[in-house]
Amino acid sequence: AAEEGFDVEEVEGAIEEAGHGPLPVLAVVGRPNVGKSTLVNRIIGRREAVVEDKPGVTRDRVTYEAEWAGRRFKVVDTGGWEQDVLGIDASVAAQAEFAIEAADACLFVVDATVGATDTDEAVVRLLRRAGKPVVLAANKVDGQSGEADAATLWSLGLGEPFPVSSLHGRGTGDLLDEVLRKLPEAPEQRFGSAVGGPRRIALIGRPNVGKSSLLNKVANEDRVVVNELAGTTRDPVDELIELGGVTWKFVDTAGIRKKVHLQSGADYYASLRTAAAIEKAEVAVILIDTTDKISVQDQRIITMAVESGRAIVIAYNKWDELDEERRYYLEREIETEMQQVTWAPRVNVSAKTGRHMEKLVPAIETALAGWETRVPTGRLNAFLGEIVAANPHPIRGGKQPRILFGTQAGTKPPRFVLFASGFLEAGYRRFIERRLREEFGFDGTPIHISVRVRE
C-alpha cells in the first residue's frame, strides 16, 4: 500500500470506517409535547428533517442517522404521535413499545417544567421491563433556574436526569456523551449471539398487500409464539416458524395480524412499525400487491430496507388475480419503478392459493448468502485489475484516475473500500458495482462502495 501513495494508517482507518455493520439504535421516547422532535432535530443536526406533524400529513421517515464524537448511530424518533387518538397512555405505550423493542438504548424525554406525570411513570415501567439502557433527558431547562426542576426527576428511579434545552442546545453535548456511554458499539444485543439462533425475517409492505395472509400460509399449524412482550399493548411478537426444515424467526408479527384501526396518525404508526421490524431483522421480504400499481409508498418501504442495509427479497403477491393485460403492465412497472432493487431475488406468489410458496425460502437463503459474502482481497484485486485494464476510467482534465487496490471491509451487507489515484465519477462507480455483482453474485443484498482518493 505504501508505495501506492497511501500510508498504512490511512488504509487501516478507511477500512475500519467502512467496515461497520448495522449501526446501534437509539429510541427517543416520551409523552407528546415534551420536546422529542425538537431534541431529535438537535441530535441529527438538521432543522428540516423533522417537521411538525399536522394531522393527516404522511410522515414516513422515523429513522435518522446521527454522529457524535466520531461515532455513528441511528435515532428512532417517536415524536410524531398524536395524543388524542387512543388517549395519552395507550398511544404513548404503543409507540414506545416498538421503538424500545428495536433499540439498543433509549433516550427518555421528560418535560422538567411539568415534572413527572403518571404517563411518565408508565413509560418508566415499559423501559424497566424492556431492560434496555436508558438515559433520562430533563427537557426545557432553558436556563440555570430550571436545574432544580430537573433534579426532582431523580424520583423516576432512572438515575441522573440530564438537564437540557432542546430548543437552545443547552446541555445536549453532555447528554449525548452519556448516550454514547450507554449505547453499545454494535447492535449485538438485539441480534443475539453471532452463531446459531434462527435467522430473522421481517415481512413488510403497505397495508393490504397480503402480509398476514402470507404469514398464515407459510405458518400452517406450526406457528409458535416465542416472545410475547408482557406489555400493556402486547404488540411486538416474534414467531418461530419452520420452513424447509429450518426454523426462522418472523419479527413483529402482531402488527401484521392485528390491523391497527386508526384514522389520523396511521401512516406514521405503520412507518414506525416497519422501521422497527427492519431494524430487528436480517432479511426483509417486501410484498408488492400486483393487482395495484406499484406506488410511491411501496418505494419508500423499499428505500427503508435498502438504507438499513438488510438482505431483501421481493414477493409479488396476488399472482392468482393477474390477467394477461395487467401482467404486461406490471412487468413495465417493475422495469421502471423497481430500479433500486434490480438485484433482489423475485418470487411471484399467491398467499391465497399457495402458488410458489416453496420458492420463498430458497430466495431468502440466496439473499442472506449474498448479504454475508466475503470476497478475499487477492481475488478482489485480481478482478479489479482486469476490469480496470479492460475499461479504464475516462480521462478528465488530462488525468486518468486509476483504482489502485481495494478490499472488502465488512459484510451484512458487503462493504468495499477502493483506493484510487483520483476522483471516480458516479457512472464509473455504478459500473464497478455492476461488475462486482456479476462476478461475485451479491443477489439480494445492497452493497456499499466507498472510494478513498490519494491526496
**Contact set with ligand GDP (CB under 6 A):** 30, 32-38, 79, 139-140, 142, 165-167, 205, 207-213, 256, 317-318, 320-321, 350-352
Closer Cβ to ligand GDP, 353 or 391, answer by number: 353
Closer Cβ to ligand GDP, 38 or 274, answer by number: 38
Q: What span, in angstroms and rounded, lies between the C-alpha atoms of 226 and 241?
A: 10
Q: What span, in angstroms and rounded, lies between the C-alpha atoms of 278 and 273?
A: 9
> Any binding-site annotation on 206?
yes
- In the structure grid, which three cell numbers stand for residue 225, read together? 409464539
DSSP per-residue codes, 250-308: E-STHHHHS----STTHHHHHHHHHHHHHHH-SEEEEEEETTS---HHHHHHHHHHHHT
> Any binding-site annotation on 78?
yes
Q: How far is the CB of 86 from ligand GDP (least distance, A)?
A: 15
Q: What angle do CA 412, 415, 419 make, to 5 degrees?
A: 165
Q: How far is the CB of 171 from ligand GDP (least distance, A)?
A: 9
> Any binding-site annotation on 192?
no
Closer Cβ to ligand GDP, 14 or 106, answer by number: 106
Q: How far is the CB of 230 from ligand GDP (least distance, A)?
A: 25
Closer Cβ to ligand GDP, 76 or 209, answer by number: 209
> Any binding-site annotation on 342?
no
Beta-strand pair 246-250/237-243 = antiparallel
Closer Cβ to ligand GDP, 29 or 344, answer by number: 29
Q: What span, in angstroms and rounded, lies between the C-alpha atoms of 303 and 414?
A: 17
> Any binding-site annotation on 140?
yes
> Any binding-site annotation on 403?
no
For the chain, how many helices (H) and strands (E)?
15, 16
Q: How far is the CB of 329 from ligand GDP (least distance, A)?
A: 18
Is the distance from CB of 250 to CB of 215 less than 8 angstroms?
yes
DSSP 8-state symbol, 155: G
Closer Cβ to ligand GDP, 249 or 318, answer by number: 318
> Any binding-site annotation on 379?
no
Q: How far is the CB of 66 from ligand GDP (least distance, A)?
A: 16
> For residue 454, what are the contacts with CB-CB under 8 A and spacing of at least 6?
4, 5, 6, 404, 419, 420, 421, 422
DSSP per-residue codes, 343-399: TS-EEE--TTT-TTGGGHHHHHHHHHHHHH----HHHHHHHHHHHHHHSPPPPBTTB
Half-sphere exposure of 51 (CA within 13 A, CB side): 7
- In the structure grid, which three cell numbers stand for residue 347, read together? 418470487
Closer Cβ to ligand GDP, 90 or 369, answer by number: 90
> Any binding-site annotation on 264?
no
Place of cell 494508517: 9
Closer Cβ to ligand GDP, 82 or 443, answer by number: 82
> Any binding-site annotation on 207?
yes
DSSP 8-state symbol, 3: G
Closer Cβ to ligand GDP, 217 or 415, answer by number: 217
> Any binding-site annotation on 254?
yes
> Any binding-site annotation on 177?
no
Q: What span, in angstroms and rounded, lies between the C-alpha atoms of 246 and 313?
A: 18
Q: How far is the CB of 32 from ligand GDP (least distance, A)?
A: 4
Q: How far is the CB of 30 from ligand GDP (least distance, A)?
A: 6
Q: How far is the CB of 112 from ligand GDP (least distance, A)?
A: 9
Q: How far is the CB of 140 from ligand GDP (least distance, A)?
A: 4
Residue type at 77?
D
Is the distance from CB of 251 to CB of 281 less than 8 angstroms?
yes
Residues tagged in the binding site annotation for GTP: 30-37, 77-81, 139-142, 205-212, 252-256, 317-320
Residues tagged in the binding site annotation: 30-37, 77-81, 139-142, 205-212, 252-256, 317-320
